[in-house]
Structures are given as C-alpha cells and as structure tokens.
Structure 1
Amino acid sequence: MNLIDAVLAQSAGIAAIRRDIHAHPELCFEEVRTADLVAQKLTEWGIPVHRGMGTTGVVGIVHGRDGGKNGRAIGLRADMDALPMTEFNTFAHASRHQGKMHACGHDGHTAMLLAAAQHLSQHRDFEGTVYLIFQPAEEGGGGAREMIKDGLFEKFPVEAVFGMHNWPGMPVGTFAVSSGPVMASTNEFKIIVTGKGGHAAMPNTGIDPVPIACQMVQGFQTILTRNKKPVDAGVISVTMIHAGEATNVIPDSCEIQGTVRTFTTEVLDLIERRMREVAEGISTAFGAQCDFSFTRNYPPTVNTAYEADFARRVMTDIVGADKALAQEPTMGAEDFAYMLQARPGAYCFIANGDGAHRGKYEGGGHDAGPCVLHNPHYDFNDELIPLGGSYWIKLAQAWLAHQPPKDRPMPAGVV
C-alpha cells in the first residue's frame, strides 16, 4: 500500500481528534463545537479559514508553492454532522450526549480531511489551491445545498469537487468509484385517505379507509413492475401506516407515509405521477377522499466520467488496481449530489472493514453489535485515516499537476 509516510506518522494524533468528535456528536446545523475544533486545527497549521457558510460550515484554503497564483483549484469535501440516535457502544470515546451519535462515520470523514490538511499545509508541494470543505447537515439538512446558496463556488471556484464515504463490509485497503449514478435521490410521500367512520360491526354504514390504504400499497408496487422500464432502478417503500384508536371503531382516516428512491429524474417523474393517479383513483373508486403530497429531497448523486476515472487512477496508485473497485450503486442518498450538480466531480467509497477494529480499543467494551451504517454499534475505523488522508493529498496533487480537457462532460447545472 502506497501511503504517505508523514501522514501515517501523524495519524495517531488525528485519530485522537476523531474520537473527540465522536464523543461529542452534534446534529445538523448544530455543529458548533465540531466547527470550532476544525477551524482551530486549520488555523494552528497556518491555513486561512472561512466560517459560517451554510450556518456552521468551514472552508480551509491551502495555497501551493505558487501562492495559488495560477488560478487553478480543487475542492475536497467532508461532512461533520451526527445522527439523532442513541449509541450502544461502551468504549471510551462513545457518545456523551444521549440521543446523538456518529453512526455514519462523519467524524472519520472530517478526520481524514484534517489529516490531508495538516500534510498539505506543511509541504505545499503543488501549484494552485486546495479548498477543504467541511460541510454541515448532510443527514437530512441539505448542508451542501445551503453552502452553495451561500456562494460556496463563487467564493471558492473549483474545477472539480470530490467527496468520500466510508463503506462497512468491504475489506480495509479497498476503494470503489464509478461514473454515472452511484447514490439515489431521496423523496418522501404522505397520503391521507379520508372515509367515513363508524361501528366496526356495521362496516356497511361507513367508508373504511384502511382497506383502501392497503389497496394503495399493493397498487404502488405495480408502478415498479408494470409502468417503469425493468432496466431502470426505482424503489417505493411504504414505511408508516397510521389509523384508528379502538378495535371496534372504523376510523375516519388513514395516513400512509414512505420513501421513493431513483437514479434519474425521469423515473422519479413517472413514479410521482403514477402514485398520485393510483392513490386518487383507488380513493375515488371506494368513495373516499385523498390528500396526496410528494416531497423531493436530495437528487441522485451522479459522478462525471472523467473525474471518476481520474479518482480511480489515484486509488490504483495507492492500493493497486485489484483494490480500486467498481462502485456498486446504492439506493442510499447523499447531499453531495448538490455539489455534483454544480461542478464536475466524483464521490467514492473507502472500505471500513467488518467492525473487528472495535476490539482493538483499550479496555474493549464495544458490545460486538453489527458495525454497519446508522447502527447503534457502528464506529469509524481509524485505520482509514492515513489511507483516506493519502488519497486526498495524492488526488489534489495529481489534479493540480495536470490540465483537464476543456471538452470533458459537465453536469447539467454547469454553465
């Protein structure tokens, strides 16, 4: 493995920062302590800092040996927020705040970018500028969108922007990246079916919204199997059905909620339209009323081809071609998608292992639960810090050392 020796030597100190962040998780747009810590470390290393973008975002500015005078720049992004869930781990750096936990590894993402920042500031063996983007509120808050609204790419113009997420289950020492859609859009729906309540022993006197809702849930799945092309990916998951207060009462209404995931806007348009038609049609057929609402949240995360291939070449230099894998698309969502709508770039996965690293902590006490994302037993693997840090550094150096073709494909949002 071709790691940068200086990053490896400094990784223990960065790991201590990571565990401190893990012990003090902060939810979206509340990352005050985390942002303070990030800004403090960047300042200690001689890196100018811009704060407050997207509420609690931090941007570090690292100029190369030319002082950034050539005007070229690359953006590297890490997210900082935690999840609103209770941690079950009992190791020393477990969350000290009940109901808040770094269960997705954003503490590790921040640490890997800090490792790169420390090295880049000490060596500056490149020409141009590296913008270190520490983003708030990835977990549902759309922090990337808010930073862009605040002028992220106007204040810090980049040729390309790159992101990285740890991925449990893959063996440590592997990466994955591919062009095209790699994470899905996330969308929510809420349907209220209003019938006519009555006595459960005399259902003929009312309009029962519960079987109407059940018909809808079944009908939605035919959209995926009979309306959508079989080769196009899409998910409709009904995750909540609420109705009734007593066993002998037919309720007046029934509420259905859930999520829709797709890789393209075209498939999303189809699903939303057909869901509305199915919901309203079934309600009308049974004499009920239907209030249908559909909210589009994060768009799909779509890597541009040139940048994904470039990232793969850097990974190959570090871990070898056999460990720079094709990225299997996932129906999970990521608000880095907003940045990839505004600038070309690539979002990759770095393997987090199977959770065995938790047994290496002094005193143990990790409870041996599954180490998967959004699980109360999850923890980021600190072995990734020198690997991820080396990737960020080599990626920035390689990008700024070459001239990307001007005619390479761009996201639709780039003018």
Structure 2
Amino acid sequence: MFYKSATAIQEQVIEWRRHLHQYPELSHEEKETRAFVCRVLDDAGIAYESMKASYGVIGIIKGEKPGKTVALRADMDALPIRETNDVPYRSTKERVMHACGHDAHTAMLLGTGITLQENKSEIEGTVLLLFQPAEEDAPIGGAQAMMEDPAFLQWKPDAIFGQHVWPDLPVGQIGVRDGAMMGNSDRFTIVINGKAGHASMPHQTVDAIVVANQLMSSLQTIVSRNVNPLDAAVITIGKMTGGDRYNVIAREVVLEGTVRTLSLSVREQVEKRLVSLVEQVAAGLGAKASVTYQKGYVSTINTSKWANHVREQARLLFGEAAAPDVDPSLAGEDFGRFLQTYPGAYFWLGTAIKERPVQSPLHDASFDIDEEALVYGINLMATTAVTALEQLKGEES
C-alpha cells in the first residue's frame, strides 16, 4: 500500500527534520528534542508516555481492530561534531551536529505516526513509536534503559523494526538482509608504562612511544593471522596520547581504540588475543602495559522472517530493484539490544544526494541527506507495521 497522507505531509516532515538539525542535542541531553516530539504527538492526537529515567518517548497508536503489537524505533541524539555544511538549516550549536541522520529518523517516525493515526481503521492491533535517546553513547546506549523503563515494560512487542539513513544507497532503495546487519562494537584502552629519560640517552630508558608503535603494528596481526579470513574483524587505534617534551623520552602512552566483529565467537577470540598480545609485546620491550576492554553494542541480528517481510514490502512499494543484496556493516548500532529480546528487522534507507559525486559518510562533518528519501521511509515504516500486524493476526488464527 502507498499512503497518500505520507506524501501530503512530506513538506511538513522536511520542516521538522530541518528544525531538529538546527537544534541538535547530545546523548542524555535530548530535553528539547523530547519536548518537540511531544508537541507534534499532541497536535496529532497520538497518545504517548515519557520515560521515567531518560528523555525517551513512546507513542501509542491503537488500531480499530484487535491484534498484536508492533514497535517502530527512531533514535534522537546528535554527535559532538562541528558542521561544515553551508545550508540554511545548519546546526546552531558550535560543536554539535546531526551527522548520523537521527534528525531524519525522528522526523520520519513522527510522519509515520501521523500516517498511521489517520489510517487507524486499517490497523489490526497496536503500533508503538519508540523515540530512543542516547544511541550514540556507546557502549552504554539508550536501548537497554528504554526496555527496562516502566512505560515500556507494560508492552511486549511481537515484532520491532528500525531504519537508518544510508548514503551508500540511492533514494528509492532499501538495504536489508537476513542475520547480521551491523557489527559488535567494543572499545579498549591500553596504558603503556616505560621509563622516562633524556632523549640523548635512550639506553637508560624504556621508550613508551616505541612500545606503542610496535603494539599498533602487532595488533593488526590478530586480524591477519589469528582470525579466519572468511570472518569479519577490524581493530582500529583512534587516539594515541603520550610524551611531555620533545627532548624527553616518554614514560607513559595511552592508546584508545575499537574492535568490530560480526560473530560472538570472533568477538571473544579477538578480545582474548588482544589482551595477551599487549602484555607480551610490552614485556618483550621492557615495559608494562594494561588493557581495559569494554564490550559495547552487540551485533544487530535480523530475524529472517521479518527481514524478508521488509524486503517484500519495499519491492511491492518501490519496485523489484528497490531491495538489492547488501553486505553487513561493522558499524555499531544500539538497536541490536532490542533484537536480542524481540524478533524484528533493521534496514537502511537510501539517502544519497544525487548532486554529490562522492557521498559524505555517516559521522562526517559534511554529512547530509536527500530529503526526497523521507517520504520513502515513512511509507515503508507505515506499510511494514500494518502488514506485520496482519501477518501476526493470520498466524494466530
């Protein structure tokens, strides 16, 4: 089905998205974003409940026919990035930006809610609109807190769906697959302790910077020599801090990085090998090193049944070419925690800007979307929810 009401409110949804883009808020600070969401829900006559321990909101749309419960999720928080786009709706905050499209997610879920509210006569059951805070606050996130909140615990969704804008796909295409869609996202900190001294007398010291350089090279052997080449794994050092002065050999260096994997077994293998390798390499060079390893978001694993459902709806709505085969991403996503408890599917919405020969990736200071994609996202979310409820009711009878 294609909802005319979604097209009718397209300009309104663009306006909402641009407002949210101009006034972004970081994780756990989404106070005004929540207030905005609640105002729109009030104006649309959609019932909702606010989370007790966070800025989350649950919109509640009860169909005119009895049935099961389906949840749709959008994340709301922004990133600590200084925007470089020269657009009228550029962020008004110096170092805060919606560089991951959560402004679009929130606006689309509001549009989806209004579309469903206007078509309640078709709905066999209940649709929950989950406006989730703190998705960017890895490794803690906001999904677990939302699921544990009293406002959410009264509901037990029979299926849950989430979407994410995706600059690698053109407008009109959807990325969805069975099984792993996004990766396990862990982080680690390595503290290296050597022995400081004068730069001209290295033989009297243990240079922590030399140890750090050796470690950064050695860590890559975990992926190249310990992990099966057919399995996915990435180890990245994103930050190195150390040293006091140009002519003083460093006593301490701190490395901060991330590990990305798809399977739980590879995740455990990489963690174990990383800790062992750090200790051994440091000891071999006369230094000491310690590792703090934090498990973050779990891999986002789609339920095959519901991934196929999203794929089918996308092709019915937008054509057979609308759901091409896609590979998983090793980016982390808090939605994986919902899928550990509830069956469902997570999919990507094509938002590539036609005028850009090279698309800016997620989390980039120049990231933006083709706003034509918003109506596609609304229609797919609304249709997926309604047809999922129909399928659930059919399975019950």
TM range (shorter): over 0.9
1:296 & 1:10 partners in 2: Cα distance?
41
What amino acid does structure 1 have at the position aligned with 2:350? A
What amino acid does structure 2 have at the position aligned with 1:400? L
Contact 2:222–2:274 (CA under 8 A) maintained in structure 1: yes
What amino acid does structure 2 have at the position aligned with 1:76? L
What amino acid does structure 2 have at the position aligned with 1:385? L
Contact 2:51–2:151 (CA under 8 A) maintained in structure 1: no
Contact 2:2–2:383 (CA under 8 A) maintained in structure 1: no
* Alignment of 1:88 onto 2:77: no
Deviation, 1:54, is 5.1
Contact 1:188–1:294 (CA under 8 A) maintained in structure 2: yes
* Alignment of 1:193 onto 2:189: no
* Alignment of 1:104 onto 2:100: yes
* 1:114 equivalent among 107, 110, 113: 110
Contact 1:53–1:147 (CA under 8 A) maintained in structure 2: no
SS of equivalent residue, structure 1 residue 128: strand
TM-score by length of 2: 0.94
Give per-residue Cα distances to partners, 1:102-132, cap 9 Å, x unaligned: 1111111111111111111112111100001
Deviation, 1:187, is 1.1
Q: Which residue of 2 aligns with 1:410?
A: none
Deviation, 1:405, is 9.2
Give per-residue Cα distances to partners, 1:131-190, cap 9 Å, x unaligned: 011111111250112101224652221101000001113211111100111111111111
Q: Any unmatched runs of 5+ in structure 1? A: 358-367, 408-415
SS of equivalent residue, structure 1 residue 395: helix
Give per-residue Cα distances to partners, 1:237-289, cap 9 Å, x unaligned: 11222221222211212222211100122111111111111111112222211
* 1:129 equivalent among 101, 126, 129: 126
Deviates more, 1:141-150 or 1:155-164: 141-150
Q: Which residue of 1 aligns with 2:245?
A: 246
Contact 2:235–2:257 (CA under 8 A) maintained in structure 1: yes
Q: Which residue of 2 aligns with 1:334?
A: 333
1:181 & 1:251 partners in 2: Cα distance?
42
Q: Which residue of 2 aligns with 1:360?
A: none
Q: Which residue of 2 aligns with 1:255?
A: 254
What amino acid does structure 2 have at the position aligned with 1:140? D
TM-score by length of 1: 0.90
Give per-residue Cα distances to partners, 1:206-236, cap 9 Å, x unaligned: 2222222222112111111221111110001
SS of equivalent residue, structure 2 residue 78: coil
1:54 & 1:356 partners in 2: Cα distance?
43
Give per-residue Cα distances to partners, 1:329-349, cap 9 Å, x unaligned: 111111011111111111100
Q: Which residue of 2 aligns with 1:140?
A: 137
Deviation, 1:382, is 1.9
1:140 & 1:175 partners in 2: Cα distance?
26
SS of equivalent residue, structure 2 residue 384: helix
What amino acid does structure 1 have at the position aligned with 2:387? A
Q: Which residue of 2 aligns with 1:365?
A: none
Q: Runs ≥4 in structure 1, deviation > 3 angstroms? A: 368-371, 404-407
Q: Residues 326 and 404 of structure 1: is their aligned pair in 2 closer, same or farther, counting only changes over 3 Å? A: farther
Contact 1:236–1:259 (CA under 8 A) maintained in structure 2: yes
1:74 & 1:313 partners in 2: Cα distance?
17
What amino acid does structure 2 have at the position aligned with 1:343? Y
* 1:79 equivalent among 52, 75, 78: 75
2:209 & 2:234 partners in 1: Cα distance?
23
Tell me the matched-pair count. 393
* 1:396 equivalent among 385, 391, 395: 385
What amino acid does structure 2 have at the position aligned with 1:346? A
Deviation, 1:91, is 2.1
Deviation, 1:328, is 1.7
What amino acid does structure 1 have at the position aligned with 2:17? R
Deviation, 1:294, is 0.8
SS of equivalent residue, structure 1 residue 190: strand
What amino acid does structure 1 have at the position aligned with 2:56? G
Q: Any unmatched runs of 5+ in structure 2? A: none
* Alignment of 1:285 onto 2:284: yes
SS of equivalent residue, structure 1 residue 353: coil
Q: Which residue of 2 aligns with 1:226?
A: 225
1:90 & 1:53 partners in 2: Cα distance?
38
Q: Which residue of 2 aligns with 1:307?
A: 306
SS of equivalent residue, structure 1 residue 277: helix
1:371 & 1:9 partners in 2: Cα distance?
29
Q: Which residue of 2 aligns with 1:361?
A: none
Deviation, 1:370, is 5.0
1:287 & 1:354 partners in 2: Cα distance?
53
SS of equivalent residue, structure 1 residue 82: coil
What amino acid does structure 2 have at the position aligned with 1:354? I
Deviation, 1:327, is 2.8
Contact 1:238–1:256 (CA under 8 A) maintained in structure 2: yes
What amino acid does structure 2 have at the position aligned with 1:227? N
2:297 & 2:77 partners in 1: Cα distance?
16
SS of equivalent residue, structure 2 residue 366: coil
What amino acid does structure 1 have at the position aligned with 2:183? A
Q: Which residue of 2 aligns with 1:204?
A: 203
Give per-residue Cα distances to partners, 1:61-114, cap 9 Å, x unaligned: 000012xx43x1000001111111111223221111111111111111111111
* Alignment of 1:150 onto 2:149: yes
Q: What does 1:172-187 align with in structure 2 at a 5 Å threshold?
A: 172-187=171-186
2:146 & 2:257 partners in 1: Cα distance?
28
What amino acid does structure 2 have at the position aligned with 1:266? S
